[in-house]
A and B are shown apart, each in its own frame.
Chain A
Amino acid sequence: MNSLSDFIEAWPLFRDPVLTSVVAWSALGLAGAYIHARRYVFLSAAVSQVAGLGVALSLWLAQLTGLAFLSSAAPLGSALMSLGALSLFWRRELSAEVQRESALMQGDQELGLIYLVGLSGTLMIGSHITHELSDIQALLFGSAVAVTELGFWRVMAAGLAFALLHLWWGRGLITVTIDPVGAQLRGLPTRSLDYSLLIGLALLISACTQTLGALPVFAASVLPTLIARPWCKRPSQVFWLGALLGALSALLGYLFAFISDSPVGGSQTLIAAALYLLSSLGARALPRLSRAQ
């Protein structure tokens, strides 16, 4: 067991990974409100798995062909796989305007397929690139404790880009999310807004998956919003509180992983899940307490 003072002493060593985690969880916490509002929860799981498959494929091809540059093209492979998965999903979104019920069912089936292919493909390929096994585990479960400089800057850039997108077009994105037809009627550029959001989500999830792994990315895009939701009265509050709670989950999770000598991704996910439990219990208990008073 390590102690908090050990962590503080070793801070220069952990600064970049902690900062990367905090920024990624924070940006995904912000994006999570859109994911939640658009019922894209399973989409973020599927895209993060497929992004992992993109990286695994690049590493495997590099080993198979002996072309080393392919392994450094892993970010591109990951982004392309994410965008591919999203374009399949986008087809569903377009058809949802036409036959909503059937399109939604079909879309769920497609997302399930993408998720399963992403996960099983990564596992299958991982078994063939034995010297990269730790990379594959890090990719799936977020077990890495360190980040590369490239990974650090990739997450910073993707997080900042998504935050700027939200600041710039947030009101429109929220309006289009809640009532797409009404937004179109009021003259909002619904198609541009939808494309921007989907591409922003794909790039953010892809960049964070390559650096943190699929499990914590999925958790970060879902749990902070769920924790924040009962305490918010307006849409804008969910975004910023989600981002704040994402950062808190990342920090506490990293600390818990260090102290208990556990994998970071799993620790952060469990901390966020515990916060969600507390939030749900608190939200139920508070009205009763105020009534009792």
Chain B
Amino acid sequence: MMITTMNSTMNSTMITATEAPLLTLSGVQLGYGQAPLSAPISLEARRAQAWALIGRNGSGKSTLLKTLVGALQPQAGELSWGEGVKLGWVPQRASLRLELPLRVLDAVRMGAERGWGFLRPWRSAELRSHVDEVIERAGLSELRERSIGALSEGQLQRVLIARALVDEPDLLLLDEPTSAMDPMSEEATFAFLEEVRLRRGLTLLIASHHPQVIPSLADHALFLDREDLSVKAGEVNEVLSDPCFLRRYGEVSCAHGTWSAESHRHSHAEAQL
């Protein structure tokens, strides 16, 4: 039984959970072939947590997501899932082949389909109404007949998130969901994700190379640095105050405070005193 408490304090929402983790990584090393891309990663993701996977391009964020969905095997360590955990996947636009015409309705419905033959009966009334409900909740009702090729980046991202949500996942993986968006669309997308997370107790794992925006949504973070082969995982404040993180990104404002190399050095000195 899930036990989740939510306390809204000022602009931040603190979510704590006491149930078993949905995902556990114990010393997992990522990579292709024999070459490891990362230092060993250990973390536990629980229900309703929002994890930001932060790192520069090529640091291994997408590789971690591909490993989590089973497209790649970990080089070392152990990756385990909680019992019956259902995964959702929101890919980067560039990894989708959108040459065929696809309406918003078709794209969202595709997320719920598990069969692969035209001859098999499909589209029950129950599925149709579920898809309609997800489309409505995602604010896509007016766009449902529109071709996804005609959508803006923000609208397309919303469709891809709705497509992942229609399968009612416990944990949603998002690969650079706002990389091609303007700030307003980005803000709207994060607000939508936050609303879904709080309403459904959904766990989020969001890969991004924008550290400035991700912390506004995340309560936990995983920082991957390929140059130093270092990894830092934990609550977002811990990660943002990591010396390696500060060296790479400097000051990052987030819902939990503002962190900078200067403030970190100051607080570190105070702690030593």
Contacts and interface: CB of A to CB of B under 8 A. Distances in A.
Interface of A: 33, 36-39, 97-100, 166-175, 177-179, 181-182, 184-189, 193, 229, 232-238
B116 A185 contact: no
A36 B99 contact: yes
A184 B101 contact: no
Contacts of A232: 101
Given A33-B100, A174-B100, A179 B117 contact: no
B95 interface: yes
B100 A170 contact: no
6 cross-chain pairs, A with B, having the tightest CB-CB distances, nearest first:
A172-B116, A235-B100, A37-B99, A170-B118, A37-B100, A232-B101
Interface in B218-243: none
A233 B89 contact: no
Given A169-B116, A186-B111, A187-B114, 9 more contacts: A36-B100, A37-B97, A170-B117, A171-B115, A172-B115, A172-B117, A173-B116, A181-B89, A184-B70
A94 to B, nearest CB: 11
B116 A97 contact: no
Contacts of A178: 96-98, 100, 102, 110
Given A99-B32, A233-B147, A185 B87 contact: yes
Contacts of A187: 114
Nearest to B65: A181
A175 B117 CA distance: 11
Interface string B112-135: 011111111010000000000000
Instruction: Name which of B95, B116, B119, B167 has the most chain A CB atoms within 10 A of its CB.
Output: B116
B119 A168 contact: yes
Contact of A234 (B99, B106, B111, B118): B106
A84 to B, nearest CB: 25
A179 B163 CA distance: 12
10 contacts: A97-B71, A97-B72, A167-B117, A173-B116, A178-B97, A178-B110, A182-B111, A186-B113, A232-B101, A234-B102
A169 to B, nearest CB: 5
B123 to A, nearest CB: 11
Interface string B246-267: 0000000000000000000000
B103 interface: yes
B69 interface: yes
A167 B118 CA distance: 6
B66 interface: yes
A100 B175 CA distance: 15
Instruction: Name which of A167, A170, A232, A233 has the most chain B CB atoms within 10 A of its CB.
Output: A233
Contacts of A235: 100-102, 106
A171 B113 contact: yes
B201 interface: no
B116 A167 contact: no
Given A37-B100, A179-B91, A188 B114 contact: yes
Instruction: Name which of A36, A97, A235, A238 has the most chain B CB atoms within 10 A of its CB.
Output: A235
Contacts of A174: 100
A212 B120 CA distance: 35
